[in-house]
Amino acid sequence: MKSMASSPPDQLFGLRNSFYVGAYQAAITSSQSLPAHDLSPDDLLERDALLYRSYLAIGSHQLVVNEIGPSAATPLQAVKLLAVYLSGDAANKESVVSRLQELLGDPAVGSNTILRLVAGTVFMHERDYAEALKHTSSGGTMELLALNVQIYLHMNRADHAEKQLRVMQQLDEDHTLTQLANAWVDLAMGGSKIQEAHLIFQDLSDKYPTTCMILNGKALCSIHMGNFQEAEALLLESLNKDAKDAETLANLTVCSLNLGKPATRYLNELKLSHPDHMLVKRMSSAEDLFDRACQAMA
Amino acid sequence: MLTKFETKSNRVKGLSFHPRRPWILASLHSGVIQMWDYRMGTLLDRFDEHDGPVRGVHFHATQPLFVSGGDDYKIKVWNYKTHRCLFTLHGHLDYIRTVQFHHEYPWIVSASDDQTIRIWNWQSRTCVAVLTGHNHYVMCASFHPKEDLVVSASLDQTVRVWDIGALRKKTVSPADDILRLTQMNTDLFGGIDAVVKYVLEGHDRGVNWASFHPSLPLIVSGADDRQVKLWRMNDTKAWEVDTLRGHMNNVSCVMFHAKQDIIVSNSEDKSIRIWDATKRTGIQTFRREHDRFWILAAHPEMNLLAAGHDSGMIVFKLERERPAFCVSGDTVFYVKDRFLRYFEYSTQKEVQVAPIRRPGSVSLNQSPRTLSYSPTENAVLICSDVDGGSYELYIVPKDSAGRSDYLQEAKKGAGGSAVFVARNRFAVLEKSSNQVLVKNLKNEIVKKSPLPIATDAIYYAGTGNLLCKAEDRVTIFDLQQRLVLGELFRPLLLNMLFWSSDMESVALLSKHAVVIANKKLVHRCTLHETIRVKSGAWDENGVFIYTTLNHMKYCLPNGDSGIIKTLDVPIYITRVIGNNIFCLDRDGKNKLVTVDASEYIFKLALLRKRYDHVMSMIKNSQLCGQAVISYLQQKGFPEVALHFVKDEKTRFNLALESGNIQIAVASAKEIDDKDHWYRLGIEALRQGNVGIVEYAYQRTKNFERLAFLYLITGYLDKVGFMCKIAGQNNNLMGQFHNALYLGDARKRAEILENAGQLPLAYVTAATHGLTETAERLAAELGENVPSLPEGKSHSLLMPPAPLMACGDWPLLRVMRGIFEGGLDATGRAELEEDAAAAGADWGDEDLDIVDASEVVANGGDGFDAEEVEPNEEDGEGGWDLEDLELPPETETPKGCQQCSLCCICCAYTRHACQPNLDSEIFSGWGACSSREL
């Protein structure tokens, strides 16, 4: 537990939490207002990594690629790789993966937590969950643990995700990531756990400025509980915050369909701005399948 | 022990609480009887007629009377309203120890060192019974609160119970046969009206005090053997039940507590002891350093006790009476007796939620002190002083409401204070290590966090935050970041704090002060109270409503405060919804008090510059009173105040203050005295409203000012007219001045001549080349013709022509502020109302004035005779024309004369000088006395 004894106040606390709850712009602003001379070199590095990851989250991939020079420290290099990966085409992606493998193999830097985090993220995008877990499962930071939870959830292994969550809870039950992971697991488990997830999102929205992420979380709980009206209201609020947010659009599509309202506009928007979103991909593959079935019948 | 009030004085031997008012009588060894207001802490009165120590004193239950008995063998009955001793009862032959009124009959019982107890009728002022039997000093005697019994204690080591049933019968039906018999018996045996029922023997030394239990057949006594004894009686006998040992010296006074199952005793060993009446064990001891205790008194209604000692007295209570409560959403959770209950504001329904652990009667003040509630988990934290500070956590199953039989095993823990900081987390203060333990609902420690300051208590301050109270400051501390978010350096003994519903403002309440701060603890305002602040709550508009012992008050965001209503008993506000104020009383009952919120809502609207609200409140509500007016004046809104005021003088002052000249004119007309016209003139002059200045001067007949005003405004023809009037009034100096203003040498010479100053007239005429006149005068003077200085040229001194002739000066821009236009309508409507009462004629006039002067104020030109009309109507235009009688052979040119007449007959003369209007106005004037233009 980090928060024992009388360690000095955690300067990066606000920044980290803003990043976790998806208040990326706030994270960027607050990272710039942090007094650099008060921070230790480690903190500085973490601050920069968080700053660039925030930029990545709001889609400014190129900015990150340009700003991180070749002489930057390993964590930043890792973030740059992530930026390249997220912005690039298939060929770039392959080179990123091989570069990552190379770095991970290097005993000097291979165990760096941010590098491993980036590796986990990239392999998760690659759907190579075994490879991802290879790098993340040894844990080390709350973020890695949270990523583990996500990976397990992607693998539909809620049981393993729950085990990871227990580990997180033992480390720091009140940590924002623990709370979030808890909510994710609860959502994945469904049933009576939804109520719990809803309370967590409610707490987060009480504590932090509401973000698309939190609103979507709340909306998801509402959808699970069958309150589509309430979910729609929350999602529209989220849409007001960011008109292009993929999750909001996807959830709105689902929600509208359930309410019997036209959803095509949201779907088209999603297709335009996020052509490789899961929902779009599934839609198109379903359409393909349908066409094929039609042809078979014809 | 919670000390409420303390006095320093000579030794206090007798005490008595007033049954209703917050007063207490203290009789002193010095012979003085003091009457104190223990709530305000003031000495109300002193009665100094006894010679020597006064040992007994007692208030009457209903009449404005009290009785006292002293070492001068006298019993005195006083009226405290008239501050007079009504009469003195003589009869005792030695010091009088105690006196007491009967609660029902007009009796006084007194105990004396002459070994007797006497019962007096204070209406007939006679002794109705002498109770003999004690064979030493009788130290105390008192009536039973319900039955026909008297208990007495004596240094003969006995306590006696007397039956006074016969005396009562005699009083109720005095014509009874028994009377004669009794009379005889009294003569022979000292009376059978009162007979000894029981003699309680058991004390080894003299008994100082004995008193009845208020409802049970019990007696408690205290004696010089340092023991307190408990006695029980039935119809036939009485016996000793138990002995309470502990006092180290003579027990001076002892009594049962009216509301709790305890016995209170005090002693010359400088201590007050509290005993459990059932278990007969000592509960608590309060000690004083140097003062021996002599007397105890209990309030007949309230939970108050008083004790007299060597150097004064103390008023105190044993337990806190503030119910622990916690507001959450639409409900308030509170503890009543041994149940946790809640009250729903919307339905006004009370529900018993769950039983809580009964506070052990091991010690006093163990009842719940604070409550904290987590709505999502339906969990309640109850903190109390048990075991030096501890908390209990109850998780209330949702469906158990109403099932009071369900007793849950609470999770307990030690800690100064405990409070929820998140849905499923609560913080517990660990004072020894000055840290907070954050626990989950399983009562497991999740986190420990050291506190930045030495903290006495913690309070909720938003999710994850705590407000920590230290001796010299309060801080808001973020538990997760371990960061101080805000600090307020102010040594306040914080008792309670209340967050506004938006969590933006917090009210910090201490014993005698209310401090309002924002969520970062930036200080906004502080209010000081002379008496205790009891509770508070925010209303939905951001006004803080709080109660003191006897008032309900408000505090606006800027620190303005005022009284909403007076309270008879202390109440604890839980919630304010509009005009409805929900509160808990000391018995844990929910009450709804409806108040008139218009005053503070009005002030709030003014403060927030919501003038539309202000307007509508002025129009619709019954706001009035000097307080509101002076508030508005003080806050710089005299023009608003103007609309509440009916009194013309106040209206006039407010109108001047706000520069509202038209209302000032209307008021001045109503008041019509010199001083007000004069002040109106000054204000009008300041604004440059020449018409009104002129009118004001005319009304006061201030010709000199008027003439000068005409001069500087360029109405030279009117100066000429003033000259004429001065002539008529035989005001030579004025006439001469005006002639000088006009530069009319001929006129001057004429005036001087008429005044008999022939040489001066001659000089004037000669100098200015009026040869004809000069010659005529020279002839008249004959020998005495003054010589003119040679070789000097002369010039006629002419006043410079004014730049802005004939008309108003540029008007000073009067800030009509926010109510421009808006209030005019209101103002007029109000005038109309007044007018309706006063009569239609006046109404028309008032309206016209307002209209007219509005035009004036707006600098408009469209001023015609119609608007000027009203003055003529009431027959008091400028001044009385009848007196004037202008000579027909006047030398002024004709046109000018018309003009001047018009200016006088019209209130506002400005336009009279415009040539094209002359004839019209003049013709109008002809018919002025009757016309209705």
- Domain residue extents for chain A: 24-32+47-89
pLDDT-derived band of residue B207, with 50, 70 and 90 as boundaries? very high
Which residues of chain A does B464 touch, with a Cβ-Cβ cutoff of 8 Å? 207
Inspect the interface and report whether the beta carbons of B482 and A9 lie closer than 8 Å: yes
**CB of B376 within 8 Å of any CB in chain A?**
yes
Q: Phi/psi of residue B439, each to 5°?
A: -120, 155
How large a percentage of chain B has pLDDT more than 90? 23
Q: How far apart are CA B691 and CA B689, in angstroms?
A: 6
Q: Tell me what pLDDT residue B764 has.
A: 81
pLDDT-derived band of residue B913, with 50, 70 and 90 as boundaries? very low
Residue of chain A whose alpha carbon sits nearest to that of B423: A203
| Residue that wins the pLDDT comparison between B409 and A296 | A296
Q: Which residues of B328-365 are buried (b: 16+ CB within 10 A; e: fewer)?
A: beebbbbbbeeebbbbebeeeeeeebbbbbebebeebb
Is the Cβ–Cβ distance between B776 and B764 less than 8 Å?
no
Q: Give kind and range of the element (H or E) at residue B97.
A: strand B96-101
Q: Which two tokens stand for residue B721?
A: 């007219």
Q: Which amino acid appears at position B127 of this protein?
A: C
Which residues of chain A does B447 touch, with a Cβ-Cβ cutoff of 8 Å? 1, 3, 172, 174
Indicate if the pLDDT at residue B210 is higher than 80: yes
**Three-state DSSP state, B116:** strand
* Beta partners for residue B420, in sequence order: B426
**Structure confidence by residue, pLDDT tens digits, B423-448:** 888 899 888 888 888 888 888 888 88
pLDDT-derived band of residue B907, with 50, 70 and 90 as boundaries? very low
Residue of chain B whose alpha carbon sits nearest to that of A201: B423
**Among the listed ranges A25-39, B423-437, B733-747, B864-878, which one has the minimum average pLDDT value?**
B864-878
**CB of B433 within 8 Å of any CB in chain A?**
no
Indicate if the pLDDT at residue B580 is higher than 70: yes
Q: Which two tokens stand for residue B371?
A: 């409550």
Q: Tell me what pLDDT residue B16 has.
A: 94
Range picked from A124-138, B173-187, B218-232, B317-331 for highest mean pLDDT: B218-232
In 3D space, the residue among B21, B7, B117, B9 whose CA is nearest the CA of residue B66 turns out to be B21
CA-based nearest distance B428→chain A, Å: 16
β-strand B533-538 against B425-430: which pairing, if any? unpaired
Q: How far apart are CA B698 and CA B674, in angstroms?
A: 11
By the 10 Å C-beta count (0-12 exposed, 13-18 middle, 19+ buried), A42 is classed as exposed
Most distant CA atoms of chain B, gap in Å: 137
Q: How far apart are CA B327 and CA A183, in angstroms?
A: 29
State the count of interchain CB pairs (< 8 A) between A and B. Answer: 36
Is the Cβ–Cβ distance between B127 and B120 less than 8 Å?
yes
Indicate if the pLDDT at residue B801 is higher than 80: no
**Structure confidence by residue, pLDDT tens digits, A45-65:** 888 888 899 998 888 888 888
Alpha carbon B428 to its chain's center: 40
pLDDT-derived band of residue B877, with 50, 70 and 90 as boundaries? very low
Indicate if the pLDDT at residue B890 is higher than 50: no
Q: How far apart are CA B495 and CA B674, in angstroms?
A: 59
Inspect the interface and report whether the beta carbons of A4 and B448 lie closer than 8 Å: yes
Angle at B271 between CA B266 and CA B273, to 5 degrees: 60
Residue of chain A whose alpha carbon sits nearest to that of B463: A207
Report CA Rg, chain B.
43
**CB of B437 within 8 Å of any CB in chain A?**
no
Q: Mean pLDDT, to the nearest integer, of B12-28? A: 93
pLDDT-derived band of residue B699, with 50, 70 and 90 as boundaries? confident
Q: Tell me what pLDDT residue B897 has.
A: 40
pLDDT-derived band of residue B492, with 50, 70 and 90 as boundaries? low
Q: Tell me what pLDDT residue B804 has.
A: 64
**Structure confidence by residue, pLDDT tens digits, A119-160:** 888 888 888 888 888 888 887 788 888 998 989 998 888 888
* Residue at token pair 């009226």: B79
Q: Tell me what pLDDT residue A8 has.
A: 59
Is the Cβ–Cβ distance between B78 and B93 less than 8 Å?
no
Inspect the interface and report whether the beta carbons of B423 and A199 lie closer than 8 Å: yes
How large a percentage of chain A has pLDDT more than 70? 97
Inspect the interface and report whether the beta carbons of B482 and A173 lie closer than 8 Å: no
Selecting from B440, B463, B481 the residue whose C-beta is nearest the C-beta of A10 gives B481
Inspect the interface and report whether the beta carbons of B482 and A10 lie closer than 8 Å: yes
**Among the listed ranges A76-85, B562-571, B758-767, B909-918, which one has the minimum average pLDDT value?**
B909-918
In sequence order, which residues have a C-beta less than 8 Å from that of residue A174 and are 6 or more positions away? B422, B425, B438, B446, B447, B480
Q: How far apart are CA B333 and CA B372, in angstroms?
A: 9
* Residue at token pair 């740059």: A80
Does the CA dihedral B654-B659-B662-B665 come out positive or negative?
A: positive
CA-based nearest distance B297→chain A, Å: 54
Selecting from B425, B482, B483 the residue whose C-beta is nearest the C-beta of A174 gives B425
Mean pLDDT (chain A) is 85
Q: Enter the pTM of the model.
A: 0.69
Whole-angstrom distance between the N-terminal and C-terminal Cα of chain A?
65
Indicate if the pLDDT at residue B117 is higher than 90: yes
Q: How far apart are CA B82 and CA A43, in angstroms?
A: 81
Is the Cβ–Cβ distance between B23 and B36 less than 8 Å?
yes
Q: Tell me what pLDDT residue B109 has.
A: 94
Q: Which amino acid appears at position B718 of this protein?
A: K
| Beta-carbon count within 10 A of A61 CB | 18
Sheet of B116-121, strand order: B96-101, B107-112, B116-121, B126-132
Q: Tell me what pLDDT residue B871 has.
A: 40
* Residue at token pair 């809104």: B637
Q: Which two tokens stand for residue B175?
A: 């014509």
In 3D space, the residue among A143, A139, A183, A141 whose CA is nearest the CA of residue A162 turns out to be A183
In sequence order, which residues have a C-beta less than 8 Å from that of residue B789 and are 6 or more positions away? none
How large a percentage of chain B has pLDDT more than 70? 80
Inspect the interface and report whether the beta carbons of A199 and B450 lie closer than 8 Å: no
Q: Mean pLDDT, to the nearest integer, of B221-225? A: 94
* Residue at token pair 């499923």: B424
**Among the listed ranges A275-279, B528-532, B563-567, B861-865, which one has the minimum average pLDDT value?**
B861-865
**Structure confidence by residue, pLDDT tens digits, B637-672:** 777 777 767 777 778 887 877 777 777 888 888 888
Residue of chain A whose alpha carbon sits nearest to that of B444: A173
Q: How far apart are CA B457 and CA B761, in angstroms?
A: 98
Which residues of chain B does A207 touch, with a Cβ-Cβ cutoff of 8 Å? 463-464
**Among the listed ranges A33-42, B111-120, B213-222, which one has the minimum average pLDDT value?**
A33-42
**Structure confidence by residue, pLDDT tens digits, B225-276:** 999 999 999 888 899 999 999 999 999 999 998 888 889 999 999 999 999 8
Q: Tell me what pLDDT residue B136 has.
A: 92
Q: How far apart are CA A59 and CA A231, in angstroms?
A: 26
Inspect the interface and report whether the beta carbons of B481 and A9 lie closer than 8 Å: yes
In 3D space, the residue among B528, B495, B500 whose CA is nearest the CA of residue B510 turns out to be B495
**CB of B446 within 8 Å of any CB in chain A?**
yes
**Structure confidence by residue, pLDDT tens digits, A187-241:** 888 888 888 898 888 888 888 888 888 899 999 899 888 888 889 999 999 988 8
pLDDT-derived band of residue B886, with 50, 70 and 90 as boundaries? very low
**Three-state DSSP state, B106:** coil
**Structure confidence by residue, pLDDT tens digits, B27-75:** 999 999 999 999 888 999 999 999 999 999 999 999 999 999 999 999 9
Which residues of chain A does B422 touch, with a Cβ-Cβ cutoff of 8 Å? 174, 203
| Beta-carbon count within 10 A of A135 CB | 22
**Three-state DSSP state, B504:** coil
Selecting from A174, A202, A207 the residue whose C-beta is nearest the C-beta of B446 gives A174
Indicate if the pLDDT at residue B363 is higher than 70: no
CA-based nearest distance B493→chain A, Å: 28
